[in-house]
Amino acid sequence: MPVIIFDRLIQQLSTITLLSILLTSMLITSQAYATNGYFAHGVGIKAKGMGGVSIGMPQDTLAGGSNPATMAVLGNRIDGGIDLFRPIREAQISGSAGGFTDGKFEANETKYFPVPEFGYNRVIDDTWTMGISVFGHGGMNTDYKSNIPLFGTSTVGTDMSQLFVVPSLSYKVNNSNYVGFAINLVLQRLEITGAQNFATTPPSISPGKVTNRGHDYSLGAGFRVGWFGQLTDKLSVGATYQTKSKMSKLDDYKGLLAEQGDFDIPASYGIGLSYKATPRLTIAADITHIDYDDVATLANPIANLPTGGLGSDSGAGFGWEDQTAYKLGIEYVYSSDIDLRAGWNYGESPIPSSETAFNIFAPATVEHHITLGLTWKLDKNRDVTVSYMHALENKIEGKGSLLIPAGSPGEVDLKMHQDSLGVAMSWRW
């Protein structure tokens, strides 16, 4: 039986290889800036309309990117969509020595970022289901209009995007319980500009590989496991765990990023549930924890500047802390053709007030997100979904933040708000 299952899995994977390659090309040329730290507030347009909930409430084949066990209950289907993301970013420096580096800097030369998504699911037999989920999940982007004297003499910017290709296999244990396993195949792209001052003050271990090196790419992989239980006809529960994805090093920026350009993707885990309160109303919630402080480039504090050369194992990083995201969503069946959704997502910014200077590159300040969604059922096999997300503006005021050069007076304040509008279509058979 395992051999038969494996043969069928290979046959099904071969039918979607071309689609995955084409979508991969689309995704890696797009840019994204995410909302829970540098991760998206949800995976899949339907989940995004409900605050990002999906661990205990699968709605489309992008669910494999959060809880692979849920793919077992989705049946045969294809989903495809695109999310148009608009972050508005700003940094302000004040009180520096002589006012030389003071100023307000807007990072919005590029405002709109298309983020496509694709998913495929196929029932192999009564117990096994295979699928694949392809999506852009993590990213940082700043595109300042001018140089920031604190950093260098050319225009400052960051472009970091991550593409996840997640093949999954799920198993029906019994009529109520399902387990799933997935591989996170990740392609990461990074470009940093305008950081010339970091090559010399403080010293870098590789001064020629700090900034303005164009795009560099890294590949990596990790694993995800999940459980999904339909405990009653009203209550479903899920749990998921994602290991750290070990990435190849970004060699072109090994003079800036800690551990000689190492930029792994942090581990995360979460639980979720959905409850059918009435025949028309479903309430769902997720809690997800992200281990940002286990990745040196993200976690090392700026206070390491005087003692650790940039790019070394102890070199300064973004100083991020772990983040726990709380997601709450509702779905209301308005009619036989229309489903309505709304949601809320909260995650305290991983940036402490003492770490704002380095985070000029990545001002991930937003915390509260409000979402809306709607699905229109064209017929029994097709539907169209739209979603909207607004992340409320949040400002992080620096406190003891301006340590470049060491001991300098002044502070760096960061703020941002975001909007996104997504559309997706689903086909079932």
Q: Which amino acid is at 153?
A: T
Rounded distance between C-alpha atoms, residue 239 and residue 272, angstroms: 6
Written as six digits, the tokens of 78 are: 């294809």
Q: Are 78 and 191 contacting, i.e. CB atoms less than 8 angstroms apart?
A: no
Q: Which amino acid is at 364?
A: A
In the chain, where are the structural domains located?
Answer: 2-428
pLDDT of residue 95: 85
CATH fold for domain 2-428? Porin (2.40.160)
Q: Is the dihedral of CA 37, 42, 43, 48 positive or negative?
A: negative
Rounded distance between C-alpha atoms, residue 19 and residue 131, angstroms: 13
CA torsion 313-319-324-328 (nearest 10°) is -130
Rounded distance between C-alpha atoms, residue 265 and residue 236, angstroms: 29
Q: How many CA atoms lie within 13 Å of 414's alpha carbon, on the beta-carbon side?
A: 26
Query: Model-level pTM?
Result: 0.92
pLDDT of residue 197: 85
pLDDT of residue 403: 64
Residue of 54, 51, 49, 55 whose CA lies nearest to 36: 51
Q: How many CB atoms lie within 10 A of CB 210?
A: 25
Residue-level pLDDT, tens digit, the chain, 429 residues? 455 554 554 455 444 544 554 555 555 545 556 689 999 999 999 999 999 999 999 999 999 999 999 999 999 999 999 999 999 999 999 987 777 788 999 999 888 999 899 999 999 999 999 999 999 887 888 999 888 888 877 888 999 999 999 999 999 999 999 999 999 999 999 999 988 888 876 678 999 999 999 999 999 999 999 999 999 999 999 999 999 999 999 999 999 999 999 999 999 999 999 999 999 999 999 999 999 999 999 999 988 877 778 899 998 899 999 999 999 999 999 999 999 999 999 999 999 999 998 899 989 999 999 999 999 999 999 999 999 999 999 999 999 887 655 456 789 999 999 999 999 999 999
Q: Are 148 and 206 contacting, i.e. CB atoms less than 8 angstroms apart?
A: no
pLDDT of residue 264: 96
pLDDT of residue 153: 77
Residue of 416, 419, 409 whose CA lies nearest to 99: 409
Secondary structure E strands in 334-404: 338-347, 368-377, 382-396
pLDDT of residue 185: 94
pLDDT of residue 10: 47
Rounded distance between C-alpha atoms, residue 103 and residue 267, angstroms: 37
Residue 394, judged by CB atoms within 10 A of its CB (0-12, 13-18, 19+), counts as: middle
Cis peptide, bond prior to residue 68, ω within 30 of zero: no
pLDDT of residue 6: 47
